[in-house]
Amino acid sequence: MLSVLVWLPIVAAVLVGFWPGLAAERARQTCLVVATALFGWSLWLVARFDPAQGGLQFAESIAWAAELGLYYRLGVDGVSLPLVVLNALLTWIALYSSPSGVKRPRLYFALMLLVNAGLTGGFVAQNLILFVLFYELGLIPLYLLIAIWGDSERRNYAAMKFLVYTAVSGVCILGAFLGIALAAGTSAALDYNASLTTALPLQAQLILLSLLLVGFGIKIPLFPLHTWLPDAYTEASPPVAILLGGVLAKLGTYGLLRFGLGLFPETWHLVAPGLASLGALTAAMGALAALAQKDIKRMVAYSSIGHMGYVLLAMAAATHLSLLGAVLQMVSHGLILAVLFHLVGVIESKVGTRDLDVLNGLMNPVRGLPLVSILLLVAGMASAGIPGLVGFIAEFLILQGSFPVFPVQTLLCVVCSGLTAVYFVILLSRTCFGRLDNATAYYPAVGWSERTPALILTVLILVFGLRPGWLTIWSEKTTGEMAASVNTPGPVARVASKIPQVRSIPLNPLSTLP
């Protein structure tokens, strides 16, 4: 079941890359068919998924190199399932919005599929080494995608920065995982076994968790490990940026949730206040930096940092509500960021600039990009957390769930959420409103092939904003169990007890939602 999601893109990538005499357009079509199949498959998984069950489903297990502790072990639960679907969807969107006229098309499309495989693998791998393998599998193709198909002269610099940062991140994670095996004294610990890791001494747990934090913190990214992101996002072509910001960043938060919180639930309490502060700081940094940008793509990139800060806060709080919010935020942020990057890409390709001081009046219905502007408006509102859109639900759950645990940090995040609205208003008013300049406005019309991806994503943003239940139902059980596991007193309960015991809020999060 899950293997199809992992291996189909790899096989297809090899075929697209090496099939003799494959035309560019044919390569793109093949990839689109594969992506459609993957998305369909992931939807079929959703249909078969039992939301009442919190644990792993569709598990597969084959011994690969058992002596190394490497098992081919896959499975999804309520946290990874939405991300798997999101990944399939955004891959389709990214492929669809890639023109067949890109240079070296076969390599490009093959790499895109490989990235998809790596990301899916990361989300479904239940063996630590297997996770690292998939984690690294996504890395090299992305480096190449930025370096070869990037936007400007700075792409090599950005790609190299991305590579160095993520390589360090990979090393940290691998180191942490090996450390786990070493400390536990058995390679069985590599098979995602929380009972072994929780038994480790507190100090060892702290070191290992910190290592994981650095590793995933780079990926998310957290302040101050974020400096690779604006360059990479900005230099990447829009389809690649969609995968980078929409899915790859989620691998960081997902990893932290799965391996940080999952493997070290009690130590988590120790670092939680710091993490929450870091999350709030990241949110503030992202929002303030976005405010200062003149380049709309960079602005969106920084907004992405800010939004990942909320996820960290939610994970630190680790209440039932906040964890659900965290998963929801990952999905909603993926959708919103994807549509933002796509629209920014369309604007850049039509207008030829991303400069806020140059852009103006795109809402003009005859010579502007009216539909693109309207969609950008909706996406901006969703990102700023306007009710009725999916961004609001996610942020509301996070803030509501985190406030009892970390009120100060949560309030700071509320302020940042307000700032999000501020910079999106700046972005929108400069870009979409105002007077379209006679002298410059000879932009080509936007075609339906460019509108379709944004329309699909916008519809999803609206639908999930109005019916968040359709999204939360898959994760509720799993996040509930995770929250419960964090609150179960263990050997380090002594430490945990110092934290106010207000975590288990007897509240069905969905009962308050439409």
In a 13 Å sphere around the CA of 24, the CA atoms on its Cβ side amount to: 9
User: What Cα–Cα distance (Å) separates residue 157 from each residue in 148, 234, 241, 300, 359?
Assistant: 11, 12, 16, 20, 27
**Shortest gap between Cβ of 407 and another protein (angstroms)?**
43
Report the residue number, 367 or 467, with the smaller CB distance to another protein. 367
The residue from 147, 436, 471, 486 that contacts another protein (CB under 8 A) is: 436
Residue type, 85: V
Residue type, 261: L
**Shortest gap between Cβ of 447 and another protein (angstroms)?**
11
Report the residue number, 444 or 506, with the smaller CB distance to another protein. 444
Regarding 372 and contact with another protein (CB under 8 A), the answer is no
Report the residue number, 350 or 467, with the smaller CB distance to another protein. 350
Determine the Cα–Cα distance for residues 13 and 54; give it in Å rounded to an integer: 33
Regarding 364 and contact with another protein (CB under 8 A), the answer is yes
Site residues (CB under 8 A) for another protein, limited to 120-149? none
Please count the residues of the chain: 514
| Phi, psi dihedrals of residue 224, rounded to the nearest 5° | -100, 30
Regarding 288 and contact with another protein (CB under 8 A), the answer is no
Report the residue number, 364 or 485, with the smaller CB distance to another protein. 364
Nearest to 81 by CA among 114, 58, 108, 112: 58
The residue from 435, 447, 448, 511 that contacts another protein (CB under 8 A) is: 435
Contact between 461 and 36 (Cβ < 8 Å): no
Determine the Cα–Cα distance for residues 394 and 388; give it in Å rounded to an integer: 11
Site residues (CB under 8 A) for another protein, limited to 218-247? none
- Eight-state DSSP code of residue 247: I
**Shortest gap between Cβ of 96 and another protein (angstroms)?**
23
**Shortest gap between Cβ of 364 and another protein (angstroms)?**
6
The residue from 20, 103, 439, 511 that contacts another protein (CB under 8 A) is: 439
Nearest to 509 by CA among 484, 475, 463: 475
3-state secondary structure of 246: helix
Regarding 366 and contact with another protein (CB under 8 A), the answer is yes
**Shortest gap between Cβ of 190 and another protein (angstroms)?**
59
Stretch that binds another protein, among 33-41, 138-146, 325-333, 358-366 (CB under 8 A): 358-366
**Helix %, strand %, coil % for the chain, to 5?**
70, 5, 25
Stretch that binds another protein, among 253-261, 330-338, 363-371, 420-428 (CB under 8 A): 363-371
The residue from 47, 357, 442, 506 that contacts another protein (CB under 8 A) is: 442
User: The tokens of 73 are what?
Assistant: 């072990």
Determine the Cα–Cα distance for residues 232 and 237; give it in Å rounded to an integer: 10
Regarding 445 and contact with another protein (CB under 8 A), the answer is yes
**Shortest gap between Cβ of 351 and another protein (angstroms)?**
14
Residue recorded with tokens 């009690």 = 266
**Shortest gap between Cβ of 512 and another protein (angstroms)?**
41
Binding site for another protein (CB under 8 A): 361, 364-367, 435-436, 438-439, 441-442, 444-445
